[in-house]
């Protein structure tokens, strides 16, 4: 009896379908936006420690895996700029205000993702919006999007931070030709030594209150606190700690940091061929004058908040 060569038929079918698949995928890859494919080449000079087997890959927009949530006037911009030097980190350039504002939040996660820079899969996207830290609605919203989100908060001595915050408010109001409140009058209630905890520059310094609302959703191990006072003077040790927290190799080194004598802080340089990138003119502004007795009253008023913060995080700052 004649036996049909079944094996032969199966092989032929398999080869034909394989060819069809190759054809289809070739067709689709040609259809894709050429711009989505960027050849992933690390220059040996500045990004030598990267695994070179991840060479040709798709670059796309990804949701952040880390947020810098504050504090306002704590050095968030400088921290983000410094982290952006790292080849495994991509930073959203502007403050997106996704979680803290209902109008932006209602645009949805796809919109949020669209605000992010292009990145490779091994890169971590970071977004920073200092308004997230004191925002009551934000921790839950972040948690619902990604319960594993890494959270960074950079804190400065609260009296200095309050004066810096007030100084920014002062110049914003000056520009808008609004009335210019005196520091001592807005920070304290009616000439008492009770701080006005509703006045934003004061409220933003009550770190304990804000951190507590984040700890309702995230364990302390997922929140890294940068010492903003140390970071301003000597950024590298603090950057090392952040690199460790983010599980990325220690690649940011002193050759990337350039001291700006005029402004009194560091500028950042991605590689030796480029000029350093410095913070804008609204940063490092001379603070509005505040008398030493007002500073002292403010310092005393912050003490109980500071103490509760230290107990919460199991770490002390010299405030």
Ligand X SMILES: *[C@@H]1O[C@H](CO)[C@@H](O)[C@H](O)[C@H]1NC(C)=O
Among 31, 35, 51, 216, binds ligand X (CB under 6 A): 51
137 binds ligand X (CB under 6 A): yes
284 appears as a binding residue in the annotation: yes
243 binds ligand X (CB under 6 A): no
CB atoms within 10 A of CB 40: 16
Shorter beta-carbon distance to ligand X: residue 156 or 210 = 210
> SS3 of 19, please?
helix
Kindly state the smallest distance separating residue 190's Cβ from ligand X, in Å.
4
287 appears as a binding residue in the annotation: yes
Shorter beta-carbon distance to ligand X: residue 202 or 225 = 202
Task: Give the interface segment with ligand X, choosing from 15-23, 28-36, 46-54, 159-167 (CB under 6 A).
Answer: 46-54
Here the tokens at position 28 are: 């689709």
46 binds ligand X (CB under 6 A): yes
264 appears as a binding residue in the annotation: no
- Residue 114 and residue 92 in contact, taking contact as beta carbons nearer than 8 Å: no
Among 2, 28, 35, 45, binds ligand X (CB under 6 A): 45
Q: What is the CA radius of gyration of the chain?
A: 26
**103 phi, psi to nearest 5 deg:** -65, -40
Distant-in-sequence, close-in-space partners of 235: CB < 8 Å, separation ≥ 6: 78, 82, 257, 266
Q: CA 310, CA 78: separation in Å to the nearest integer?
A: 24
- Residue 265 and residue 279 in contact, taking contact as beta carbons nearer than 8 Å: yes
- Contact map string, positions 78 to 107, toward ligand X, x by CB under 6 A: ------------------------x-----
CB atoms within 10 A of CB 167: 20
Q: CA 172, CA 204: separation in Å to the nearest integer?
A: 17
Kindly state the smallest distance separating residue 40's Cβ from ligand X, in Å.
13
Task: Give the interface segment with ligand X, choosing from 49-57, 159-167, 214-222, 301-309 (CB under 6 A).
Answer: 49-57
Residue-level length of the chain? 319
Among 189, 263, 283, 295, binds ligand X (CB under 6 A): 189
The string over 110-132, giving b where at least 16 C-beta atoms fall within 10 Å of a residue's C-beta and e elsewhere, is: eebeebbbebbeebbbbbbbbbb
| Count of chain residues binding ligand X (CB under 6 A) | 11
292 binds ligand X (CB under 6 A): no
Binding site for ligand X (CB under 6 A): 45-46, 51, 53-54, 102, 137, 189-190, 253, 255
């Amino acid at each position: 009896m004649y036996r049909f060569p079944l094996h032969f038929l199966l092989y032929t079918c398999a080869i034909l379908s394989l060819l069809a698949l190759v054809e289809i995928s070739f067709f689709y890859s040609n259809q894709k936006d050429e711009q989505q494919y960027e050849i992933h080449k690390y220059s040996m000079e500045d990004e030598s420690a990267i695994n070179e087997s991840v060479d040709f890959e798709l670059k796309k927009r990804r949701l952040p895996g880390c947020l810098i949530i504050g504090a306002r006037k704590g050095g968030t911009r400088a921290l983000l700029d410094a982290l952006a030097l790292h080849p495994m980190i991509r930073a959203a350039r502007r403050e997106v205000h996704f979680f803290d504002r209902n109008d932006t939040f209602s645009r949805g996660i796809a919109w949020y993702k669209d605000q992010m820079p292009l990145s490779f899969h091994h890169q971590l996207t970071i977004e920073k919006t200092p308004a997230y830290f004191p925002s009551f609605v934000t921790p839950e919203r972040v948690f619902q999007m990604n319960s594993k989100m890494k959270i960074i908060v950079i804190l400065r001595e609260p009296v200095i931070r309050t004066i810096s915050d007030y100084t920014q408010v002062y110049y914003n109001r000056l520009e808008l030709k609004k009335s210019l409140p005196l520091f001592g009058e807005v920070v304290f209630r009616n000439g008492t030594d009770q701080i006005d905890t509703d006045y934003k520059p004061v409220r933003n310094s009550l770190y304990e209150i804000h951190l507590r609302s984040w700890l309702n959703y995230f364990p302390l191990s997922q929140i890294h606190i940068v010492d903003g006072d140390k970071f301003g003077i000597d950024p590298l040790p603090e950057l090392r700690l952040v690199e460790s927290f983010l599980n990325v190799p220690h690649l940011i080194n002193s050759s990337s940091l350039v001291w700006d004598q005029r402004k009194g802080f560091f500028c950042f340089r991605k590689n030796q061929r480029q000029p350093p990138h410095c913070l804008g003119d609204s940063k490092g502004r001379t603070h509005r004058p505040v008398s030493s007795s007002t500073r002292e009253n403010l310092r005393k008023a912050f003490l109980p908040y500071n103490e509760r913060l230290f107990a919460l995080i199991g770490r002390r700052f010299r405030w």
